[in-house]
Amino acid sequence: MGLFDFLKKLKGEVKISGGATFGAPKPISNEEYQRKRQAEIDVLEHRYDLSTVEGINAIPVPCAKEQPSGGVASVTGRIEYYLMLKAGQYEKAGEVDLALACFRKANQLMPVSSVEYDKDRYLRLPRYLRKLRRFDEARAEEAKVEQLFGDGNRFVSEKGWTEKRNADLFRNLRDFDTDLVEASYIRCCCSECAKYRERVYSVSGRDRRFPKLPEALLAGDHDCGIMLWPFIDGVNSMRTRNEKDLEGKAIIKYSNRPFIDDRTPEELRDLAEIEQQKFADLAREQNRIDYDWLWEHLPEHCPKSLSAYSRMKNQKTEKYKALVAEAANLGYEIK
């Protein structure tokens, strides 16, 4: 059973750590979702001048008014999120100054937002600057991002993220006065996480009806995305991967099934496809990095577009081999 199902079982809104209240979400149609998105956009476009560089630069940091009046908190309704969207639109339209203004303002707002954005969001600004061949500016922005995501900083540190997640979990356990947690089902995972998913655990091990929570799940040693949330015996049910609702002793029995890698052939196939996509994404990113370097240091020999460079690399043309050799002479290795 998911977190929102859990909260629904407790009837009404529930206060958890941080003072926020949550209720079970109701499924909405695509049409209703689009209406909500448009309502968010209308509020932001009315509140801020996003059509001029001056208006974008005037957006305060931090931004107190994050959500549409009376609306439910939504990432898509936040100004920094919308600025990223606008930046992409301006970039596509060739409006360089407006695109850069949106990217810069978003990068100023994200560190002080209550939403934690991943590193890739911040790197959109320097990547655009590299696309514009403004390499010194790009390096300066990349240095800022690396500083945000350096060791010990809350943005990067995987260890820090794990500690924060665990602290939130333990606060919620105290709020609900329970020692039990439910580990979510996750379809694509490693062989180790497959053993741990979709069970109810006793955090302390005192409730011997359930297995003790493995240290690996708290330490993040095998973290494919398994989520943990409070579980109250006698109140919560468990929805299994087979869409079966378990209650009472059935949950205990299911949680104590053998700790084995029980991934199905379909799950293994899905995981292989994801890994293949990750490899392809890494290859594309490396191509972009190499192309940016070539454009900066060997512009007279560099193809005019990234797609042209990718084609010549895939075909291993003589021109590509010559580029590799010239880059090596300058101390840069193209693998």
**What is the 3 state secondary structure string of the chain?**
CCHHHHHHHCCCCEECCCCCEECCCCCCCHHHHHHHHHHHHHHHHHHCCCCCHHHHHCCCCCCCCCCCCCCCCCHHHCHHHHHHHHHHHHHHHCCHHHHHHHHHHHHHHHHHCCCCCCHHHHCHHHHHHHHCCCHHHHHHHHHHHHHHCCCCCCCCCHHHHHHHHHHHHHHHHHHHCCCEEEECCCCCCCHHHHHHCCEEEECCCCCCCCCECCHHHHHCCCCCCCCEEEECCCCCCEECCCCCEECCHHHHHHHCCCCCCCCCHHHHHHHHHHHHHHHHHHHHHHHHHHHHHHHHHCCCCCCCCHHHHHHHHHHCCHHHHHHHHHHHHCCCCCC
For residue 271, pLDDT over 80 is answered with: yes
Mean pLDDT of 62-80: 65
Q: In the prediction, which pLDDT does 157 show?
A: 46
Question: What is the band of 8 on the pLDDT scale with cuts at 50, 70, 90?
Answer: very low
For residue 101, pLDDT over 60 is answered with: yes
Question: What is the number of other CB atoms lying within 10 angstroms of the CB of residue 225?
Answer: 11
β-partners of residue 231 are 180
For residue 15, pLDDT over 70 is answered with: no
β-partners of residue 188 are none
Mean pLDDT of 80-103: 96
For residue 276, pLDDT over 70 is answered with: yes
Residue 108 or 37, more confident: 108
Question: What is the band of 3 on the pLDDT scale with cuts at 50, 70, 90?
Answer: very low
Structure tokens at 204: 């302390």
Whole-number Å distance between alpha carbons of 161 and 104: 25
Q: In the prediction, which pLDDT does 20 show?
A: 37
Residue 155 or 54, more confident: 54
Whole-number Å distance between alpha carbons of 298 and 326: 8
Q: In the prediction, which pLDDT does 16 show?
A: 36
- The rounded percent of the chain whose pLDDT value lies above 90 is 60
Backbone angles phi, psi at 213, to 5 degrees: -60, 120
The whole-model pTM stands at 0.61
Q: In the prediction, which pLDDT does 167 show?
A: 87
Q: For the ranges 89-93, 161-165, 170-174, 178-182, which has the lowest average pLDDT?
A: 161-165
Q: In the prediction, which pLDDT does 36 show?
A: 87
Mean pLDDT of 152-159: 48
Residue 79 or 245, more confident: 79
β-partners of residue 245 are 239
- The rounded percent of the chain whose pLDDT value lies above 70 is 84
Q: What's the chain's average pLDDT?
A: 84
* Angle of CA points 259, 262, 268, to nearest 5°: 140
Structure tokens at 80: 């920094």
Are residues 292 and 303 in contact, defined by beta-carbon separation less than 8 angstroms? no
Whole-number Å distance between alpha carbons of 273 and 310: 22
Backbone angles phi, psi at 182, to 5 degrees: -105, 130
Please state, in angstroms and as integers, the Cα–Cα distance from residue 270 to each residue in 189, 240, 262, 299, following that order.
Answer: 10, 19, 14, 41
For residue 100, pLDDT over 90 is answered with: yes
Structure-derived torsion over alpha carbons of residues 303, 309, 312, 314, reported in degrees to the nearest 10: 180
What digits encode the pLDDT tens for the residues 120-151?
A: 899 999 999 999 999 999 999 999 999 988 75
Whole-number Å distance between alpha carbons of 18 and 23: 15
What digits encode the pLDDT tens for the residues 307-318?
A: 999 999 999 999
Are residues 122 and 107 in contact, defined by beta-carbon separation less than 8 angstroms? yes
Are residues 68 and 91 in contact, defined by beta-carbon separation less than 8 angstroms? no
Q: In the prediction, which pLDDT does 5 show?
A: 43
For residue 230, pLDDT over 80 is answered with: yes
Question: What is the band of 13 on the pLDDT scale with cuts at 50, 70, 90?
Answer: very low
Q: In the prediction, which pLDDT does 164 show?
A: 77
